[in-house]
Chain A
Amino acid sequence: QVQLVESGGGVVQPGGSLTLSCAASGFAFSDYGVHWVRQAPGKGLEWEAYIRSDGSKKVYADSAKGRFTISRDNSKNTLYLEMNSLRVEDTAVYHCVKGASGSNLLFDHWGQGALVIVSS
């Protein structure tokens, strides 16, 4: 079955950097667009970034533009999110999410997420 397992979360100071990874299995990773979606503690869902199946297109939410970089390594079935200039308001669980077959902008499988805490 589809599995998405995030890693790399932790505590970082404001202005710091962190890179998240997501190991995918149970499906043809290189055939699907994938996303990062975050959820601050007790809050709603916020889409952050998307990368096309072959990595040729990347799109970011305004909150991520200029600070976050999404990338993927299809040979390793792994998705990444490099986060720089982190702010307190970036504190959240970051989920790796697979795009659906019919529409890459529809989310059909979610990872459990990696917790990022930005605090001094």
Chain B
Amino acid sequence: ETVMTQSPATLSVSPGERVTLSCRASQSVSTDLAWYQQKPGQTPRLLIYGASTRASGIPARFSGSGSGTEFTLTISSLQSEDFAVYYCQQYNNWPHFGGGTKVEIK
């Protein structure tokens, strides 16, 4: 079982700021890593897959990087609609999600 750990649990940010979220895997998952955004009352939305490929319709301010066990999701300039919980998920073997990072307004 591959355990996914996200940090920090909560991030307080002002609109316009650059945001970096981290995700660590307990063993290598190559680049089989996805990021999802979940807003209150909504289902998760796929943002990034293959560690760095944006899903269809995802703005360019979202970018992903990393391979192996260390991954990062960066939002270059946080917009009001980006306040949400972000989850990473490995799909190198049977899926596991990280615990999530809540991005809240500072």
Contacts and interface: CB of A to CB of B under 8 A. Distances in A.
Interface in A30-59: 35, 44-47, 50, 59
A38 to B, nearest CB: 11
A95 B42 CA distance: 11
Contacts of B99: 44
B94 A61 contact: yes
Interface stretch (A11-19, A20-28, A72-80, A107-115): A107-115
A113 B38 CA distance: 14
Nearest to B34: A106
Interface stretch (B19-27, B43-51, B66-74): B43-51
B43 A110 contact: yes
Interface residues on B, range: 20 to 34
B13 interface: no
B62 to A, nearest CB: 16
Contacts of B38: 45
Contacts of B1: 62
A45 B49 contact: no
A105 B97 CA distance: 12
Interface residues of A, number: 21
Contact of A45 (B32, B44, B91, B94): B44
Contact of A44 (B34, B94, B97): B97
A107 B32 CA distance: 12
A88 interface: no
Interface of B: 1, 32, 34, 36, 38, 43-44, 46, 49, 55, 87, 89, 91, 94-100
List of 8 A-B pairs having minimum Cβ-Cβ separation, nearest first = A105-B91, A110-B43, A47-B95, A45-B97, A44-B100, A44-B99, A106-B91, A105-B95
